[in-house]
Amino acid sequence: TDDTRIRAAIPTIKKVLAEGGSVILMSHMGRPKKNPDPKYSLEQIVPAVEKNLGTKVEFAGDCIGEKAAEMAKNLKPGQVMLLENLRFYAEEEGKPRGLAEDASKEEKDAAKKALKEGPQKEFVKKLASLADCYINDAFGTAHRKHASTAVIADYFDAGNKMLGYLMEKEVKAIAAVMEKPAHPFCAIIGGSKVSSKIGVIKALIEKVDSIIIGGGMTYTFAAAQGGKVGDSICEPDMFPVALEILELAKQKGVQLVMSPDALIADAFSADANTDVAPADNIPDGWEGVDIADEGKKAFREHILGCKTILWNGPVGVFEIDKFATGSKEVALAIAEATKKGAYSLIGGGDSVACINKFGLADQVSYISTGGGALLEYIEFGDLPGVAAIRD
Ligand code: AMP
């Protein structure tokens, strides 16, 4: 559906070919649970890779095994081969398959340990034996300690493993924002749940001047402070965390900006009835699905006053056009601020999809190919995929 990540990997591949090397591409697509699974075969991307690279790409049909090994051995300088989806093997992620649904945590942990200590090592050895050099250019999965993204680096000497150009570009773009940002620095954090963004919000409080909180998270914050959120998405077990964030922001002098109003819907669908309500007083039977006029005005004005802007997560259910106008306003304001000289970094599949949906991709400073990786890099200041190459 989208070749952004393929295009992003091309400069590194071309560099290797231009220097007289041959390239074995390995990657994953989707979350296959079996081997093989034609729906997720990487054979489908061969035409897109060939088109972007301008070179023929041979498909190996598997990622390990005799055929792949034979093809790798016979590769000549300038030639490219593509391995089959790494995630056809449970060894790639190190997540055991076929466990009984009612397996206990102990059983699951034991199966994971056994997989990582046995089959995963064999799998990685076979992958590593295909090549002389290992380049990691997969920023989008650099926060995972998987066989192909981190473990494999142990099988190459320091001089024979490196980061690709995309990785370098991504890491530099994030460093530009996190290390020496121009102020005021605002992070816009949307999406569905507090639980998945909590770590990054806490880390950002140490760095930014303000955080715009949008999306489904709004209602956990509202309810934690005694508001009424109707049927909106809400995580009661996150109330203490939401209150802690509010307190922490106050202590650090970080402004938390939330929409005073909400677009509410009586169903999670395009043909739902809609209305507007205060974000902390939503009637039962209705749920907050986007920001409304007051929120749009507040977010826009705030964004226009900033010099560094980081955006992760839509501020509404942008997949449904009727609920996408808040996210569109945010995207437009970011583009306008960028035009006025602000540095804007957009990351996370959904925010990037928003920017693309509204045709603004060329009006922001940097679009990251990573979602989880971007957030974890901000949170921890490092990523397993990057550390594996360096250490
Ligand atoms: P995340 O993966 O956490 O960044 O969340 C992205 C998802 O959040 C998108 O699919 C949005 O539809 C969803 N989202 C945004 N606002 C809301 C909301 N008010 N209620 C439910 N889901 C939302």
* Secondary structure class of 241 (helix, strand, coil): helix
Q: With bands split at pLDDT 50, 70 and 90, how would you rate the model's confidence at 3?
A: confident
Q: Is the pLDDT of residue 331 over 90?
A: yes
Catalytic-residue membership of 144: no
| Average pLDDT of the segment spanning 109-131 | 97
Q: Does the beta carbon of 348 sit less than 6 angstroms from any atom of ligand 1?
A: yes
Greater confidence, 177 or 184?
184
Catalytic-residue membership of 7: no
Dist. CA 136–CA 121, nearest whole Å = 18
> Among residues 190, 313, 372, 385, which one is catalytic?
372
pLDDT of residue 373: 92
pLDDT digits (tens, 9 = 90+) for 132-181: 999 999 999 999 999 999 999 999 999 999 999 999 999 989 988 888 89
| Average pLDDT of the segment spanning 193-208 | 92
Q: Does the beta carbon of 350 sit less than 6 angstroms from any atom of ligand 1?
A: yes
Q: Calculate what percentage of the chain has a pLDDT beyond 70.
A: 100
- Position of tokens 């994030």? 174
| Average pLDDT of the segment spanning 4-11 | 92
Phi–psi pair at 3, nearest 5 degrees: -100, 20
Phi–psi pair at 302, nearest 5 degrees: -65, -45
Q: Does the beta carbon of 319 sit less than 6 angstroms from any atom of ligand 1?
A: yes
pLDDT of residue 175: 87
Q: Does the beta carbon of 352 sit less than 6 angstroms from any atom of ligand 1?
A: no
Report the residue among 266, 350, 352, 368 best suited for mutation to probe ligand 1: largest number of ligand atoms under 8 A from its CB: 350
314 alpha carbon – ligand 1 mean position (Å): 6
Q: Is the pLDDT of residue 52 over 80?
A: yes
| Average pLDDT of the segment spanning 110-116 | 96
Whether 85 contacts 29, CB under 8 Å: yes
Q: Is the pLDDT of residue 245 over 90?
A: yes
Closest Cα to atom 6 of ligand 1:
191
Total length of the chain: 391
Q: Is the pLDDT of residue 83 over 80?
A: yes
pLDDT digits (tens, 9 = 90+) for 334-383: 999 999 999 999 998 788 888 988 999 999 999 998 888 999 999 898 99
pLDDT of residue 176: 84
| Beta carbons within 8 Å of 298's beta carbon, 6+ residues apart | 257, 259, 260
Closest Cα to atom 12 of ligand 1:
317
| Average pLDDT of the segment spanning 58-79 | 97
Catalytic-residue membership of 372: yes
Alpha helices in 27-164 (DSSP H): 46-53, 66-74, 90-93, 105-117, 119-128
| Average pLDDT of the segment spanning 330-334 | 97
217 alpha carbon – ligand 1 mean position (Å): 8
pLDDT digits (tens, 9 = 90+) for 287-323: 999 999 999 999 999 999 999 999 999 999 999 999 9
Question: Which residue, among 204, 298, 299, 218, has the nearest Cα to 252 in the 3D structure?
Answer: 204
* Index of the ligand 1 atom closest to the CA of residue 262: 19
Report the residue among 188, 192, 368 best suited for mutation to probe ligand 1: largest number of ligand atoms under 8 A from its CB: 192
Catalytic-residue membership of 193: yes
Whether 28 contacts 87, CB under 8 Å: yes
* Index of the ligand 1 atom closest to the CA of residue 218: 19
Q: Could you tell me how far CA 55 lies from the centroid of its own chain? A: 29
* Index of the ligand 1 atom closest to the CA of residue 313: 4
355 alpha carbon – ligand 1 mean position (Å): 15
pLDDT of residue 386: 94
Among the listed ranges 4-18, 78-92, 212-226, 343-357, which one has the minimum average pLDDT value?
343-357
| Average pLDDT of the segment spanning 38-50 | 97
Q: How many other β-carbons are positioned within 10 Å of the β-carbon of residue 19?
A: 8
316 alpha carbon – ligand 1 mean position (Å): 6
pLDDT of residue 353: 87
| Model pTM above 0.75 | yes
122 alpha carbon – ligand 1 mean position (Å): 39
Mean per-residue pLDDT of the chain: 95
